[in-house]
Structure 1
Amino acid sequence: MAETNALPLVLLTEQFAKLPGIGMKSAQRLAYHVMRMSDKDAEAFANAVLNVHKNVHLCKECQNYTDRHLCPICDDDRRDHGVICVVESPQDITAIERTGEYKGVYHVLHGLISPINGVSPDDLKIKELLARINSGTADEVIMATNPTVEGDATAFYISKLLKPLGVKVTRLAFGLPIGGQLEYADEITLYKALENRSEI
């Protein structure tokens, strides 16, 4: 930002620029937008940020974000607590819930194993998952990590830990999207579609 801008505006822009996917131009637009807010709206915005940090924590069961002891999904007796879907992030839960089809519960890893990025199994919520399985309530664990090198490695690592515990471990099927055309699919997607083919 140019030196002609007020220092508080420069500092606010720098804070916005720290957010993922926000470059300096977008950060500057956001800072100016905040400047145009009424004092009441600016205070509400600031309070919302502080409120998240003070009152949101990890669910004691699934490691999703919640403001209660248990998140609403873990606290729902209508959910099938015998099926645990393991995901990388809380955003993945939102995506799966949009389908309206999954009736089990979740476990959030908060990342994927990635030695290149310095992320080891100890940095993830794997110990908490093993504790849940050892409590004897789960019949199946669905590995719903992304179909990337890190996602596959994480799914494989966790499945190796879970299989001796007598729980069924499955992996989401990956392949061609509905309405997709073969000629536009990349090699990995086509490979996964062939590998995960099912009988009709």
Structure 2
Amino acid sequence: LNTGALMFTVPSGLCAAISTRVSNELGAGRPQVARLATRVVICMAMFAGSVISITMILLRKSWGYMYSNEEEVVTYIARMIPVLGVSFFIDGIHTSLSGVLYGCGEQKIGARVNLAAFYLAGIPLAVLLAFVLHLNGMGLWLGIVCGSLTKLVLLVWIVVSINWENESIKAKDMVLGTSLLVA
């Protein structure tokens, strides 16, 4: 859990940054800059995710000692680290893509994608792998990774399909439709 919280700081920062950047650029009438910023943050998320995942995998035999001195625990963590590394890589990218949707004001789409990916794919697969195929904790995590991968595929499809010019027009309409209080 501590590892997960630590590894999620970079993707959550990228999510906040791209959300702000996309919304500002769309509101300013610069849809192509918003599109470019999206491409840049995806590259940054892939790079950061690669560094984090590779570091975890390279240190997998000693990573467990940060949490326990028991060999059984350390060995189990070493077995789980490659799956966690893949999970953090995928999570970093889809977290950044979610930020793009937030910047476009499409939070509802992100919520629907989450529900579909995890409730229709991730959780059922986790239950199957863990309890039917008896993979236990590894099965639970593999199911969640499959849910994350499903979410990533859906978000990539959605973000690639964004009509940036239309999003910019919608952003301007929202701003013009809002009454501002001037002090």
The answer to whether TM tops 0.5 is no
Structure 1 or 2: larger helix share? 2
Q: TM-score range by the shorter chain?
A: under 0.3
Given the two structures, how large is their TM-score scaled by the length of structure 1? 0.24
Which structure is richer in relative contact order (CA contacts within 8 A, separation 6 or more)? 2
Which has more strand, going by share of residues? 1
